[in-house]
Amino acid sequence: MNARTSFGAVLVLSTIFAVFPARAERLIVSVSNHRVTVTPNYSGEELVLFGSVEKDASTPASRTNYDLVVTVSGPRADMVTRRKERKFGIWINTDYRQFLKVPTYLALFSNRPFDAIASPEVQRRQQLGLNNVLLTQRVGPDYADVVPNDPFRSAFVRLRSEHGLYREATSAVTFLTPTLFRTGIPLPAEVPIGTYDVEIKLFSNGALVTRTESAFEIVKVGFEQFVATTARQNGFIYGLFTAFMALMTGWMASIVFRKD
């Protein structure tokens, strides 16, 4: 597993080098578990991401203060946010916005507030913070992200945050030494199954120095996976089985509780 991970990291790094040949730092990262398995007693988990900043000869000696931003985004889905309004004395859903291919889980961690890391312009371009992450909406025929204080966007982020599915922590990344860092990735119980992308960006003096990527997946195994795939692929047999199970349970109960 470790060998494969480092191989993957090398692969990612080499692509980065191809794009930014002048960069003098490299990021070496790893997630504590690349495959979170959902078992009957699964109730959420916390992963740990750790890594280090590798310098080489071409690194300017003055560069010592690094800032780090970690973005974890879960599988993407289309979602709709609806707003209730009072009509004829009752509260009904009137207006709505569709959010297209937005992450079902989104976490942004950094070692200090985003405002201290980079200018607002860089924050927006690098999508630092929940306010700057691109959440594409469909407004009528147009596709666009809107201003962060748009009522539908902020309600969406707020509701996801209430369930722990969207989160932002500007003190979650800790530097153990000036170049060695770690951060926890809390996964609440209701996080969706799927592949999670982790993007790590290194900043220095307000500018992006380098970036790298990692990933992990949350998968169902054993009984959970069997039930889920059967329900999806053999709906008829699954339904028949469930209905039969209902009858058996009912019949068993009437035998167990028979008075005479």
Partner 1 sequence: MQLYLPIADIPVNVFLILAMGAAVGFVSGMFGIGGGFLMTPLLIFVGIAPAVAVASVASHIAASSFSGAISYWRRRAIDPALALVLLCGGTIGTALGVWTFTLLRSLGQLDLMIALSYVVLLSTVGALMFWEGLRAILRVRRGVAIPMRRSGSHGWIHGLPLKMRFKRSKIYLSVIPVVVVGVVIGFIGAVMGIGGGFILIPIMIYLLRVPTSTVIGTSMVLTLVTMAFATMLHAVTNHLVDAVLALILMVGGVTGAQFGARAGQKIRGEHLRLLLGLLILAVGIRFAIELVIRPDDLFTIRELGGAA
In the complex, the smallest distance separating the C-beta of residue 32 from partner 1, rounded to whole angstroms, is 21
Give the residue, chosen from 1, 2, 22, 41, that forms a contact with partner 1 under the rule CB under 8 A: 41
- Residue 27 forms beta bridges with which residues? 53
Give the residue, chosen from 54, 194, 197, 217, that forms a contact with partner 1 under the rule CB under 8 A: 194
Strands 166-169 and 106-110: parallel
Burial class (CB in 10 A: 0-12, 13-18, 19+), 129: buried
Give the residue, chosen from 21, 140, 141, 250, that forms a contact with partner 1 under the rule CB under 8 A: 250
Number of CB atoms found within 10 A of residue 185's CB: 22
Q: How many helices (H) and strands (E) does the chain have?
A: 6, 14
Is residue 254 a contact residue for partner 1 (CB under 8 A)? yes
Please say which residue, 144 or 257, places its beta carbon nearer to partner 1: 257
Strands 207-220 and 76-87: unpaired
Q: 5 to each of 10, 46, 114, how far by Cα in Å?
A: 9, 19, 29
Residues 66-85 that bind partner 1 (CB under 8 A): 75-85
Name the CA dihedral angle for 191, 194, 195, 199, rounded to a multiple of 10 degrees: -20
- Whether residue 45 contacts residue 188, with contact meaning beta carbons closer than 8 Å, is answered with no
Please say which residue, 59 or 98, places its beta carbon nearer to partner 1: 98
In the complex, the smallest distance separating the C-beta of residue 220 from partner 1, rounded to whole angstroms, is 7
Give the residue, chosen from 39, 65, 171, 205, that forms a contact with partner 1 under the rule CB under 8 A: 39
Is residue 221 a contact residue for partner 1 (CB under 8 A)? no
Give the residue, chosen from 120, 178, 206, 239, that forms a contact with partner 1 under the rule CB under 8 A: 239
**Phi, psi (5° rounding) for residue 248?**
-60, -45
Binding mask 164-193 toward partner 1 (x if CB under 8 A, else -) reads -------------------------xx-xx
Which tokens go with 62?
A: 């003055």
Is residue 148 a contact residue for partner 1 (CB under 8 A)? no
Catalog residues that contact partner 1 under the rule CB under 8 A.
38-44, 75-86, 89-93, 98, 104, 151-152, 155-156, 158-160, 189-190, 192-194, 220, 223-225, 227-228, 231-232, 235-236, 238-243, 245-247, 249-254, 257
